[in-house]
Amino acid sequence: MSEGQIKKFMYINRKAPHGTVYALESLEVVLIAAAFDQDVSLAFMDDGVYQLKKGFNTKGIEVKNFQPTYRALDDYDIQKLYVEKEALAARGLTEEDMCVPVEVRTRAEIGQLMETQDVILSF
C-alpha cells in the first residue's frame, strides 16, 4: 500500500460471537490492519450485533473473552462502529445494550456507506 494514500476499509460483521470463529478473526484482522493508518469503519449486521451485547462472561465455556478488546478500538483510532437498527430491533436489543459507543443505522443507510468504500472485508 503506497504511503499517504488513505483508503476506506469497511468490515462487515454478521455472525454471533462464539458459535463460529468469525467474530474473533474479524477483530484480529481489524487490529492488525490498523497499523496501516487507513480510514476504517466496522458494521455489525444480523447476528453480528450480538458481538457487542455487553456483559460477556465466557468462564463457563472456557474460551477467551474478547469483548473488552472492542473497548481498545478507540486507542487504535477506530471510532466508526455502525450497528444495524433492524437487527437490534429483531433481537430485543437497544443501543444501551452495546458494550461500546456505536452509531445505529438502518440497513439501507449501511448499504449507502458500503457503496462509498474502497475495500469491504466480509465476516
Partner 1 sequence: MLHIVNKSPLDRNALDTCLATAQPGGAVLLIEDGVYAATTGTTAAARLTQAMGQVKIYALKPDLDARGMSDHVLQGVELVDYGGFVDLVAEHPVCQSWL
Partner 2 sequence: MAIEVNGKQYDTDEEGYLTDLNEWNEDVAKVLAEQENVNLSEQHWEVINFLREYYNEFQIAPAVRVLTKAIGKKLGADKGNSQYLYELFPYGPAKQACKIAGLPKPTGCV
Asked if 54 contacts 98 with a C-beta cutoff of 8 angstroms, the reply is: yes
Cα 23 to Cα 9: distance, rounded to the nearest angstrom: 17
Min separation Cβ 121 and partner 1, Å? 9
Cα 16 to Cα 52: distance, rounded to the nearest angstrom: 9
Min separation Cβ 60 and partner 2, Å? 17
User: Which residues contact partner 1 by CB under 8 A?
Assistant: 12, 14-15, 22, 45-46, 86, 107-108, 110-112, 114-115, 117-120, 122-123
Cα 24 to Cα 40: distance, rounded to the nearest angstrom: 17
Judged by beta carbon, residue 25 or residue 95, the one nearer partner 1 is 25
35 binds, among partner 2, partner 1, none (CB under 5 to 8 A by kind): partner 2
Asked if 112 contacts 3 with a C-beta cutoff of 8 angstroms, the reply is: no
Cα 35 to Cα 15: distance, rounded to the nearest angstrom: 25
118 binds, among partner 2, partner 1, none (CB under 5 to 8 A by kind): partner 1
User: Which residues contact partner 2 by CB under 8 A?
Assistant: 28, 31-32, 34-35, 64-66, 68-69, 71-72, 75-76
Judged by beta carbon, residue 66 or residue 104, the one nearer partner 2 is 66
28 binds, among partner 1, partner 2, none (CB under 5 to 8 A by kind): partner 2
Cα 10 to Cα 105: distance, rounded to the nearest angstrom: 14
Q: If you search the block for the grid coordinates 443505522, which residue do you land on?
A: 105
